[in-house]
Amino acid sequence: MHSIWLLPMIFSFLPSALGVIGPPANSSTNSTLLNPILPGFHPDPSCVFVSEWNNTFFCASSSFEAFPGVPIHASRDLQNWKLVGNALNRPEQIPDLAITNKSTSGIWAPALRFHNGTFYITTTLVFDDQPQTNLSRWYNILLSSNNPYNESSWTDPIHFDFVGYDTSLFWDSDGSVYVTGSHPYNLQPGINQAPISLTTGAVGSITNVWNGTGGLAPEGPHVYFKDDWYYLMIAEGGTGLNHEEDIARSRNINGPYESNPANPIVTNANTSAYFQTVGHADLFQDANGNWWGCALSTRSGPEYIVYPMGRETVLTSVTWASGKFPVFTNVSGTETSWPLPPSDLSIPGSGPFINAPDAYTFPPGSTIPAHFAFWRLPISQNYVVSPSERPNSLRLTASTLNLTGYDGNYAATGQTFLGRRQVDSFFTYSVTLSFAPTAAEHEAGVSVFLVQSHHIDLGVVLLPSSSTSTSSANDTALTPYFRLRTTTSIPVPAPIQLTPVPAAWIQPNAPLELRLQIQACNLTHYAFGAAPVGAAHEMLTLGYGEAAAVSYGFTGTLVGVYATTNGGEEGGVEAYVGDWRYEGMGQVRD
Ligand SMILES: *[C@@H]1O[C@H](CO)[C@@H](O)[C@H](O)[C@H]1NC(C)=O
Ligand SMILES: *[C@@H]1O[C@H](CO)[C@@H](O)[C@H](O)[C@H]1NC(C)=O
Ligand SMILES: *[C@@H]1O[C@H](CO)[C@@H](O)[C@H](O)[C@H]1NC(C)=O
Ligand SMILES: *[C@@H]1O[C@H](CO)[C@@H](O)[C@H](O)[C@H]1NC(C)=O
Ligand SMILES: *[C@@H]1O[C@H](CO)[C@@H](O)[C@H](O)[C@H]1NC(C)=O
Ligand SMILES: *[C@@H]1O[C@H](CO)[C@@H](O)[C@H](O)[C@H]1NC(C)=O
Ligand SMILES: *[C@@H]1O[C@H](CO)[C@@H](O)[C@H](O)[C@H]1NC(C)=O
Ligand SMILES: *[C@@H]1O[C@H](CO)[C@@H](O)[C@H](O)[C@H]1NC(C)=O
Ligand SMILES: *[C@@H]1O[C@H](CO)[C@@H](O)[C@H](O)[C@H]1NC(C)=O
Ligand SMILES: *[C@@H]1O[C@H](CO)[C@@H](O)[C@H](O)[C@H]1NC(C)=O
Ligand SMILES: *[C@@H]1O[C@H](CO)[C@@H](O)[C@H](O)[C@H]1NC(C)=O
Ligand SMILES: *[C@@H]1O[C@H](CO)[C@@H](O)[C@H](O)[C@H]1NC(C)=O
């Protein structure tokens, strides 16, 4: 059947061709701010404003098992954000990411700071299957850069001992440096702090500075010094619907800290807002001295059932009067904010603006774009740009493991997968696929991938001809099928759908030449389709996947390509991907 793919009818924002947002209406009056500023899988944001670097704002966010890790986005106008590099961009920086087990493991909550000409990041490589008391569950690291536009400038990490996560640096006026972090929540939950050496990672004696206001999981601490007070701001309530941000202050860095009577200072808990889970905030000032808060939020509504993009980065205005606690503006999709700086897109670096469309043909001499992501460390020979036998394509060599890997938890031998973040409520993603499978279960395709235990795949797979009832039950010859299948723990309708590749699309003794497509056709469903290359009018809708099936955990969806032998020979087959396109088709903000 031919499909009619209806475009979503309700757009609250239509990106221009370049996907950038126009200048604020009037820089001397309040502005209209659109959230999220970093849509898609960009949780646990930490941002700084650096006047020395042409009045530029920089934000880091969590990457969990995605690699490269810790994306750094830069902006001069707080609305147009460009990926300028990934702090963890060399496998040698975090070799043990390859052996993390469990989908909640990996790189958690980087804190980005700028001090005396240098950028610093503290973050934790978490082995979330290990006991909370085990120091090796919390592999805390410190890295620095003297030029965030140059990925190679990020140093190899220095490891430091800290039982916990969400570590953040603070420089006191006497020159001493502290690390503040969250102590595991099923031990004595609280915020711990210690002096740290930035050169050796040596950590001094630990002080338990605050336990928060009594909410679950006090975490994500940052310390600020203002008007002779040390302010300690933390998240509580867990990163779900009860998430909130709280603050306390003290005349001494090590406390005692007194809680702000007006806590929580920002939350959307117990509201009907579309933007839920607001918390894990950080504070910074712009060139005019106005304060801003970044935080994470989930576009889920209080139902909290459909949120495939997971925890995204939002921005809000903050008023912080002298001697007083800061006051946040509630987070929503369209806010009146402090005047935004004038629009300025002249940010250095080769990465794309976050809402720019993709159009990649993998020509000779090109490299894999900086916003593409592998799951854990890539087996590098499995990804070849423009191989000599087929220039202008990306060659994927199939891994034994499929996207589920071993039991949905680990994949130490590698999974052949390459994706990019879903950053739009509605989008169309498509690639060409040239594939000549030779054995049963040889498979290549496209996926909406959240984690190994939650993904929706449209694969082209070789199966016995008897796999569908229309075939002779005795026919053991192998035939290519489209297989749409959902892997999830969430109770949604998800039958495996097998559709034989139409005979007219198969040329004798030649690879299949197909275009595969994923479209977020409405908020609750992804539509999966295929057509012969060069015959888009023949596009078949093969089925739908439920966005609820990939709304889970700490991360957000990637859309991308994969190749696997489903337990067969490692490297048993190759697939060639070309003409990679992703285009946003609208954001829902309310
Ligand atoms: C911008 O705001 C200022 C102060 O309210 C006002 O004087 C000016 O006319 C406004 N400019 C524009 C272009 O609206
Ligand atoms: C600031 O911007 C100017 C003009 O674009 C550029 O020449 C200069 O290198 C920039 N400096 C920094 C530190 O980014
Ligand atoms: C990962 O966890 C699973 C489930 O607990 C366990 O069976 C497996 O052995 C673990 N793998 C590794 C490499 O630790
Ligand atoms: C700041 O950096 C400069 C140049 O790297 C260095 O000479 C100086 O000692 C640093 N100052 C402090 C207070 O660390
Ligand atoms: C602590 O973690 C390490 C590394 O993951 C592991 O080898 C060790 O068995 C763990 N120890 C305990 C007591 O669980
Ligand atoms: C980027 O940083 C690396 C490592 O510090 C350095 O070798 C290289 O020269 C830098 N490149 C540029 C263009 O600054
Ligand atoms: C945090 O809670 C523990 C256990 O109740 C208590 O011993 C400790 O004093 C508390 N810390 C602070 C800073 O109040
Ligand atoms: C939301 O409501 C629940 C139940 O009444 C309450 O326990 C929780 O503290 C509230 N959260 C916030 C942030 O108000
Ligand atoms: C401008 O925005 C700030 C921050 O949201 C707010 O406090 C202030 O009331 C606004 N001013 C006007 C005139 O709307
Ligand atoms: C398969 O073929 C054999 C031999 O022709 C026949 O006896 C048998 O009934 C067939 N089985 C099915 C399920 O059609
Ligand atoms: C979204 O699309 C799916 C697939 O076409 C359809 O079943 C569902 O009813 C749609 N939902 C809405 C709210 O239109
Ligand atoms: C993944 O591969 C295994 C065999 O290694 C197979 O049992 C499983 O069904 C496959 N699952 C998916 C969703 O690809």
Closest residue (by CA) to atom 9 of ligand 1? 26
What pLDDT does residue 349 have? 86
The 10s digit of each residue's pLDDT in 195-239 is: 999 999 999 999 999 999 999 999 999 999 999 999 999 999 999
Instruction: List pLDDT tens digits, range 66-80.
Output: 999 999 999 999 999
Name which residue sits closest to atom 13 of ligand 9, judged by CA.
30
Query: Which residue's alpha carbon is at the smallest distance from atom 12 of ligand 4?
Result: 116
| pLDDT(25) > 90 | no
> For 360-393, what is each residue's pLDDT tens digit?
999 999 999 999 999 999 999 999 999 999 999 9
Q: How far is the CA of 515 from the centre of ligand 2 (A)?
A: 42
The mean pLDDT value of the chain amounts to 94
Is there an atom of ligand 11 within 6 Å of 292 CB?
no
Residue whose Cα lies nearest atom 7 of ligand 4: it is: 116
Q: How far is residue 275 CA from its own chain's centroid?
A: 17
Residue 137 DSSP code: G
CA of 465 to the centre of ligand 10 (A): 15
Instruction: pLDDT band for 453, please (50, 70, 90 cuts).
Output: very high
User: Residue 20 has what pLDDT?
Assistant: 44
| pLDDT bucket at 7, cuts 50 / 70 / 90 | very low
Give the model's pLDDT for residue 473.
Answer: 57
Residue 111 CA to ligand 2 centre (angstroms)? 25
Q: Indicate which residue's Cα is closest to atom 13 of ligand 2.
A: 53
Strand order in the sheet with 56-60: 46-50, 56-60, 69-75, 82-88
Q: Whose CA is nearest to atom 12 of ligand 9?
A: 30
Ligand 10, atom 4, lies closest to the CA of 474
Q: Which residues line ligand 8 (CB under 6 A)?
A: 242, 244, 264, 267, 269-270
Supply 587's token pair.
């954001």
* For ligand 10, atom 11: residue with the closest CA: 474
- Name the closest ligand to CA 131: 5
User: Which backbone phi and psi does 81 adopt, to 5 degrees?
Assistant: -115, 130
**Whole-prediction pTM:** 0.92
Residue 335 has pLDDT above 80, yes or no: yes
Q: How far is the CA of 441 from the centre of ligand 12 (A)?
A: 9
pLDDT in tens, 246-277: 999 999 999 999 999 999 999 999 999 999 99
Q: How far is the CA of 125 from the centre of ligand 4 (A)?
A: 29
For a substitution probing ligand 8, which of 213, 270, 304, 331 has the most ligand atoms within 8 Å of its CB? Answer: 270
Ligand 4 geometric centre to CA of 51 (Å): 17
User: Of 101, 134, 137, 401, which is best to mutate to test ligand 3, by the most ligand atoms within 8 angstroms of its C-beta?
Assistant: 101
pLDDT for 260? 98
278: confidence class by pLDDT, cuts 50, 70, 90:
very high
Is there an atom of ligand 4 within 6 Å of 174 CB? no
Burial of residue 115 (CB within 10 Å: 0-12, 13-18, 19+) is middle
Closest CA to ligand 1's atom 11: 26
For tokens 């890295």, the residue is: 143
- Statement: residue 159 has pLDDT above 80: yes
Strand partners, 169: 179
pLDDT on residue 225: 98
Question: Do the Cβ atoms of 293 and 279 come closer than 8 Å?
Answer: no
Residue 398 CA to ligand 3 center (angstroms) comes to: 23
List, in order of start, the domains of the chain with CATH numbers: 38-336 (2.115.10.20), 358-586 (2.60.120.200)
Average pLDDT over residues 295-311: 98
Q: Is the CB of 388 under 6 A from ligand 4?
A: no
Q: Which of 502, 464, 459, 462 is nearest to 482 (CA)?
A: 459
pLDDT digits 0-9 by tens, 32-53: 999 999 999 999 999 999 999 9
Q: Is the pLDDT reported for residue 578 higher than 50? A: yes
- Residue 474: per-residue pLDDT: 60
pLDDT (tens digit per residue) in 402-433: 999 999 999 999 999 999 999 999 999 999 99
Ligand nearest the Cα of residue 258 is 7
In the predicted structure, residue 113 carries a pLDDT above the cut 80: yes
Burial class (CB within 10 angstroms; exposed 0-12, middle 13-18, buried 19+) of 466 = middle
For residue 310, which of 487, 70, 550 has the smallest C-alpha distance? 550
